[in-house]
Amino acid sequence: MLNTELTPRHTLSRRTGYAVAATLIGVALFASGVPSALYGTYQQLWGFSPLVLTLVYATYAFGVLTTLVLAGRLSDAAGRRPVLLGALIGLMAATVLFVLADSVTWLFVARALQGLTTGALISTASAALLELHRTRDARAVSLANGVASTVGTGLGVLVSGALVELLPAARITPYVVLFALLAIGFVAVWRMPEPVATRSRPRLTPQLPRVPAAIRSPFVLAALGAVSSWSIAGLFLSLGSHLSAELFHTTNHLAAGVGIFALTGSAAVAQLIFRRTAPWSGAAFGSLALAIGMALLVVAAATDSAIWYLAGTVIGGSGFGVAFLGGLRALTAVIPAEHRAAVMSAFYIVAYAAISLPAIAGGTVAGFVGVRPTFEIFGSAAAIVALIVAYLATRTRPQPSHQPVPHAAPATC
């Protein structure tokens, strides 16, 4: 463990520290998207199936989930800076493993290490984000967290694709850029203020999931929203580049990443535009937009249309961002303080299972019927779940008060 007593000579302000924490979340998700643009290259080199490809991605998701459940509260005792510094070192090590990988086995190893360290980073950075916010506004912090996550994921795939397509050493250049970003992040964390005032001996204390009976209805709504949105996101991050290549009829790596960027970029923009929307409204109308987007995606896959594909990813991505944020805000608003960690642990399990399990199933199906029919099947399923979420969200709309309004007193001069 890094020595928590080692402090930098010049410490950043708390406001700058807040920006650093938000940027770190984006960089961590950027790192997760970088290998996606290279999956096609890896398949050509080592000849593995779509199922193996989705298993590689699922390894990352399970690694994140493992750290969130087993060590999500480690920084409460050790401090935010030491855990962030250790996580960044781990991500840099995973980046080196990607560069040195000469078989699919090493992809699994690199993805596993990347997932484990990403889980430690995002849980710690999310806690620091709230502590460093000038008013500790949970709503503003959730928005910053969500936007950083979606933008980082999309940019990781798009920038990686551009570097692969435009610069030499395609298998190395994206990771060199990523390593440089992580090194800059390490320097920034070294100089950021430590939000945890008192520290104790670090212990790995698993946070067991538990949902009190009183809040199971909003939890089910938020969980279904996570399933409908993140399942299609996981499928995009594992097989989306293949679908883009087929619909755009090109092997260009930059074009292959356009769909993923359109999905996550539109999600981030929609979250900013509709950030003041009531939670029930965001969950309902966002889920409806997600269902429409998925229907367009199914049409695109069936008709070989790149135009419908882009329209579906933009509309579906917008709905995904708003629906997920609305459902999560509705849930966090009713969680008792003493159950917050246990409930969020349960939510993370659902969310990361939604990212990984459908991706594995999609890889299995794609091995038999192809990528486009796979997206038709899973896009249809996601649309149905999204419509169910939209209906359930409308049931949570606050009812207007029917109490009689007292007559106003006469105005006086």
Flag whether 378 is in a domain. yes
Are both 363 and 218 inside the same structural domain? yes
Q: 193, 215, 237 — which closes off a domain?
A: 193
Residue 171 lies in a domain: yes
What does the pLDDT read at residue 8? 59
243-301 confidence digits (pLDDT tens): 988 999 888 878 778 888 899 999 999 999 998 888 888 889 999 999 999 999 999 99
Dihedral of alpha carbons 376, 377, 378, 383, sign: positive
Residues 167 and 81 grouped into a single domain: yes
At residue 231, the pLDDT reads 84
What integer pLDDT is reported at residue 3 of this predicted model?
47
In a domain, 200, yes or no: no
pLDDT attached to residue 202: 64
Does residue 38 sit within a domain? yes
85: domain CATH number?
A: 1.20.1250.20
220 and 368 belong to one structural domain: yes
Do 105 and 138 lie in one domain? The reply is yes
Given this model, what pLDDT does residue 137 score? 80
What is d(CA 132, CA 81) in angstroms, rounded to the nearest whole number?
Answer: 13
The 8-class DSSP code of residue 209 comes to -
| Cα distance between residue 115 and residue 123, in whole Å | 12
> pLDDT by residue (tens digit) across 28-49?
999 998 998 888 889 888 988 8
pLDDT at 1: 44
Q: Do residues 225 and 283 touch, judged by C-beta distance below 8 A? A: yes
- Please give the pLDDT value at position 411: 36
pLDDT at 75: 76
DSSP 237-304: IIIIHHHHHHHHT---HHHHTHHHHHHHHHHHHHHHHTTTS-HHHHHHHHHHHHHHHHHHHHHHHHHT
- Asked whether 121 and 71 are in contact (CB, 8 A), the reply is no
pLDDT of residue 181: 97
Residues of the chain with pLDDT under 70: 1-10, 72, 197-205, 207, 341, 399-413
pLDDT of residue 28: 94
User: What was the pLDDT predicted at 400?
Assistant: 61
pLDDT at position 293, please?
Answer: 95
d(CA 25, CA 35): 17
Q: Quote the crossing angle between the two packed helices 50-71 and 39-46, to the nearest 10°.
A: 120
Work out how many domains the chain is built from and give that number: 2
- Give per-residue burial for 171-200: e unless 16+ CB within 10 Å, then b: eebbbebbbebbeebbebbbbbbbbbeebe
Q: Are residues 340 and 377 in the same domain?
A: yes
Assess whether 113 and 23 both reside in one domain.
yes
In a domain, 409, yes or no: no
Q: What's residue 117's pLDDT?
A: 96
Is 130 found in the same domain as 16? yes
Same domain (yes/no): 133, 41 = yes
144 domain-assigned: yes
353 and 224 inside one domain: yes
Is residue 54 domain-shared with residue 88, that is, in the same domain?
A: yes
* 187 and 213 inside one domain: no
Domain that includes residue 132, residue range: 8-193
| CA proximity to 297, closest of 388, 387, 369, 374 | 374
Q: What is the pLDDT of residue 7?
A: 59
Q: Is residue 181 part of a domain?
A: yes
Within a domain: 307: yes
Q: Using CA atoms, how far apart are residues 166 and 254, in angstroms rounded to an integer?
A: 9
Residues 227 and 153 in one domain: no
Q: What is the pLDDT of residue 295?
A: 96
